[in-house]
Amino acid sequence: MTEGARTAGPIVGAVEAGQPAPTVRTTYLDDGPTVVSEYWEGAHSISVGVWVGVGSRDEPVADAGASHFLEHLLFKGTERRSARSIAELVDGTGGEMNAATGKESTAFYTRLPAHSQDMAVDLLGDVLCGPALRAADVETERRVILEELHLQEDDPADVVASLLDEALFPDHGLGREVLGTRESVEALERDGIAAFHDRWYRSPNLVLAAAGVVDHDRLVEQVAAAFAGRGGGEVPERSAPAELPCSDRGLQRPTESVHIAWGWRSFHRHDPRRRALGLGVYVLGGGLSSRLFQAVREDRGLAYNVFAGAHLYSDVGALDIHAATEPGRADELRQVVEAEVAAVAEHGITTDELEIARRGFEGARLMGLEDSGSRMIRLGNGQSLYGRVESLDEFVASLRAIRLDEVNAVLAEVLAPAATVAVVGPAV
């Protein structure tokens, strides 16, 4: 067992006089999860989460949706507790317990009243390490997930996002829907799901994060006991998507609006240019003052909302833009969005815009640390995705070091190719 260095950010909550600011502590268990925590005196809740470093991109095509299916099943009961008793235990505290499946990880978390550390670790350890995975529960959740797929298919915003992923990453796990397909969900069986759990839910892929009034030393002992027997194992081997030509996608639907998404491939999350890209995307379509919002919503009333985002994976990334408008104005929307993108790619952004984006990033990060849940997410994402938790001082310093020419160079590079476009609506 080894412990990483302590780090502290500039705004971390109240502490007792003469005591150091709350710290992030990281411990690497020899045969267990990595444990990272932030002590926050005065917190009224404690949040504990487990990040599992496997997601939908790591599934064979035939087992598409296995990560998400397993996420559902882990809440259906363990060898010690029924699904109802788990729900009653959490509800009886006023707390919450939930999970989320992504393309490269699955996260399980609970937020409980302060001083509930023992309960939180015991519950998460039980759910992740001792699931019952009963055949009857598999059939129940299969119906639930199929209904989830139906709801997603009814939402044109979700459909156009899925089409864009398929277009940007053809024949690759990143281009597949996290939930899987109706065919793959109907075909998944209990033994296959159990084998998926046994293979991937092991210590090399596990990070436990906790924030609040946390006793780190006791936390490490509790995690070692709760996750005993989940040692060994392997991490997913991933291959980047091939540089295949991307083709536009269209799906005709009798919707009231035409939904349009534009996408470009970008770089992976470890690329040193990622923050420059993030600032550029913020100026392009990240807020009410962004280029796209002003041109599309404020100046022309073409759409209720328009936004841009950057998605960074372990070996590749994507920049995308989403908007919807009435069918008769779809061509105008495309012209306006594409003109703004071309202007940013050719001429870049201004110094004033960069400063607004920089202050926006700083403010959002600091305001996002007002509860134990958001602090836990920061810890879990940092440790699981980047291998360390960046201090707030480091974060702010990195933002302030980014130059205008760096942002403009990144935008020019990413936006230089023609966009891949996905459209869902009555006329495509």
Just list the catalytic residues: 71
> In DSSP terms, which residues pair with 96 in a beta bridge?
111
Task: With CA atoms as reference, report the closest residue to 393 among 32, 2, 24.
Answer: 24
DSSP 175: G
d(C-alpha 182, C-alpha 290), whole Å: 38
Q: What is the DSSP string of 30-85?
A: TTS-EEEEEE-TT-SEEEEEEEES--GGGS-GGGTTHHHHHHHHHTSBBSS-BHHH
The values of phi and psi at residue 358, to 5°, are: -60, -50
Select from 304, 324, 327 the least CA-distant residue to 426: 327
The total of other beta-carbon atoms located within 10 Å of residue 418's CB is 11
Q: What's the rounded Cα separation, in Å, for the pair 33 and 51?
A: 9
**Cβ neighbours for 211, distance < 8 A, ≥ 6 positions apart:** 37, 38, 40, 43, 46, 47, 372, 373, 375, 376, 379
Distance CA 341, CA 296 (A): 12
Count the Cβ atoms, other than its own, within 10 Å of residue 42.
Answer: 12
Residue 97 amino acid letter: M
Q: Which residues pair with 318 in a beta bridge?
A: 265, 311
Q: Where are the alpha helices (DSSP H) in 257-322?
A: 274-285, 291-292
Q: Is the Cβ–Cβ distance between 202 and 232 less than 8 Å?
A: yes
The conformation of residue 254, written as its DSSP 8-state character, comes to: -
Structure tokens at 21: 């600011």
- Which H helix or E strand runs over 393? helix 392-401
